[in-house]
Amino acid sequence: MRREMQLNIFRIGFLKNRTFRRAAAGLAAVLVILGGVRVFFGGGRAQENVQDDLMNTTVIEKKDLLKSVSVTGVVATADGRAGNTGLTNLKVERVHVKVGDEVQEGDVLCTFDSTLLEESLAAARNNYEINKKLDAMGADYEKQYRDSMKQADTSLKDSSQKRDQAKNAYQEASGKESTARAAADKAAAALSEKQAACEAAKQAAAAAAQAYEDRQQAAYEAARQAAAADRIQEAEQPPAPEGSQENASAEGESGAASDAGAEKPVEHSPEKTVENPADRLPERTPVVINDIDAYIAGLDVNGPDYTALKDTLNAYSAAKTALEEAKAEAERTRGAYEQAKAETGQAKSSYDQAQTARQEAQNTYDSSIRDAKTAYQKSKLQSQLITDNDAKKQITQYEEQLEDYTVRAPMSGVITSLSVKEGQTFGGGVIYEIQDLKHFVVEASVDEYDVVKIRQGMTAYVKTNSMGEELLKGTVTYVAPTAGAGKGGEAGAGSSQSGSGGSASYQIQITIEGEQEKLRPGMTAKVSIVQEESRGVLAVPYDCVETKEDGTSIIYVDEGGQRKEMTVEKGMETDYFAEIRGKDLKEGMTVYLPDGMRQGGQLPEEENAGNADEVMYGF
């Protein structure tokens, strides 16, 4: 805010108004005279005046000077199209896009129902062919009439024959399909039976196997208990005396066996540990069959009592084999049925096409006979209802209209407006609007004072609220030649031409470089159009440079406390500063300010501080 106030103060006080400067020069002369009187009557203050002069100075600095025109405009898309049609009362057949969709050039946006137009086109082409035949007819009109009838009859018979052949093929395929379906149903029923039989055999095998395992478990437990009893009996017999005969042991064993029913006390050595005889045969874990197939895979076919189980397992194996065969047969017949069904469908389609072709041939036959008769009569009367040129023109007109029934995108962009809906009748007018939302321009208007400073090709810098402090580079691409004229000759938005005493407004356009993601149509944009710029030059405040009567430009520099006139060449000028050139000029030299800037006047802040990398472009 402080910078803007200072710039405004400077702009108000030191505009390059020649009348004002002449008045200022006169005022300065008066001040010089008054200063002399002051020196004469106040010699004691001469030194103070010198110090005052030194305080009213500035220095020569290197600056980047910029002269620009600032305008405010509105962001708009660089390219946009609206699709119009002169056709009316069209039924919308299909809409392929919606508002907001991004499309490419050539994409189909919508289609209208063209049935009636296609019929009209077919009729026009038919009439044209008839006219060509009429033109080709010679003197033998009757022969040509007979030839036309013969050709139409041949075409009809050919289409009828093809129709009948297709019908027979369809009927044959339909019969094959029925046979294949019956076979598939039969195989499916057999498969169901085999599945039930296999499941029953599986359950029987599982039951037999479980019984087999239970018997094995019982036999093992019996053997284990018998072995345990033998061990106990052996452990209870007293040991034989040393030196006894083996037959004595045998007799003792025989006596013990004969007296087995009698209870005899057995003496045990207190140091001997009694062993559990049953521990000599380990326990056998009972087998519980949950998966008969896994059980069969690990079964020992050499085990005891296997023969009793073998027949049941063989029956189960045979049932599984029969089931697999039934599955294969079911799959084969199902595949054959599906193939027959597809062939029937194809045959039906061929038959329908042949039937349609035959009907078209019948229609053509009827039409050809009728047209041939008409042509024959016309030829005999030496007259035609329509000329070749008119027929061609009508066909071309219909073809062009038919192209309009398919609406395509004329450019790549985003759909921003759409006036059609499927199934509804379109009354005419604008169908769609497409905008390029990646490339933008700024549309603005300038008054008659600034328009003369602007020309196409000038560099411009654009700033919007959405971009923050970021500057977008652009180029002036249009300057209206007349007041109120927009680009393309139409009236520009917001443009006007005032009456007497007013200021005319001229439209300009600035094209922003590159693709932009943060811009939207309708945003307010501030634009600085660069008229001239000069970088790294020696410059002083504009009014430090004075012009003598002979046109020579001079400045006053300080040399040892004395004012010294120095001739310079004036270069680029802005509202605030002037570029100066001269062989003796150096950066940092002290320059005297003009009298009008000594008492209370303020210098503007620099257009850019020192040799800063960025110029503020008038924002």
Give 148-163 pLDDT, tens digit per residue. Answer: 778 888 888 888 888 8
99 contacts 415 by C-beta, under 8 angstroms: yes
Beta partners for 165?
Answer: none
User: How many C-beta atoms lie closer than 10 Å to residue 117's C-beta?
Assistant: 18
Strands 425-426 and 102-103: unpaired
Mutual angle of helices 115-136 and 306-381, in 10-degree steps: 50
* Interval 194-204 mean pLDDT: 84
Strands 459-464 and 505-512: unpaired
Q: What angle do CA 378, 379, 381 make, to 5 degrees?
A: 65
pLDDT at residue 461, as a whole number: 94
* Interval 15-20 mean pLDDT: 38
pLDDT over 70 at 540, yes or no: yes
pLDDT at residue 126, as a whole number: 79
444 contacts 74 by C-beta, under 8 angstroms: yes
pLDDT over 60 at 614, yes or no: no
The residues near 552 (Cβ < 8 Å, ≥ 6 apart) are 567
User: What's the pLDDT band for 34 if we cut at 50, 70, 90?
Assistant: very low
User: What's the pLDDT band for 307 if we cut at 50, 70, 90?
Assistant: low
User: What's the pLDDT band for 594 if we cut at 50, 70, 90?
Assistant: confident
Structure tokens at 213: 């395992």
DSSP H helical segments within 42-138, as ranges? 46-55, 115-136
* Interval 370-380 mean pLDDT: 67
Beta partners for 505?
Answer: 447
Q: Is 604 left (phi over 0), alpha (psi -120 to 50) or beta?
A: beta
* Interval 67-77 mean pLDDT: 92
* Interval 460-480 mean pLDDT: 92
- Taking the CA atoms of 100, 101, 102 and 108 in sequence, report the sign of the dihedral they define: negative
Phi then psi for residue 286, to 5 deg, are -60, 140
pLDDT at residue 58, as a whole number: 93
Of 203-207, 307-311, 404-408, minimum mean pLDDT range: 307-311
Give 92-108 pLDDT, tens digit per residue. Answer: 989 999 998 989 999 99
Give 472-513 pLDDT, tens digit per residue. Answer: 999 999 999 998 766 665 555 444 444 445 689 999 999 999
**Is residue 406 classed as helix, strand or coil in its secondary structure?**
strand
Structure tokens at 345: 């469908």
pLDDT over 80 at 592, yes or no: yes
Q: How far apart are CA 461 and CA 466, in angstroms?
A: 15
Q: How far apart are the first and last CA of the chain?
A: 12
pLDDT over 80 at 600, yes or no: no
Structure tokens at 494: 């917001």
Strands 406-408 and 108-112: antiparallel
* Interval 25-46 mean pLDDT: 39
Structure tokens at 616: 């503020």
The pTM of the full predicted model, rounded to 2 decimals, is 0.42
- Taking the CA atoms of 277, 279, 282 and 285 in sequence, report the sign of the dihedral they define: positive
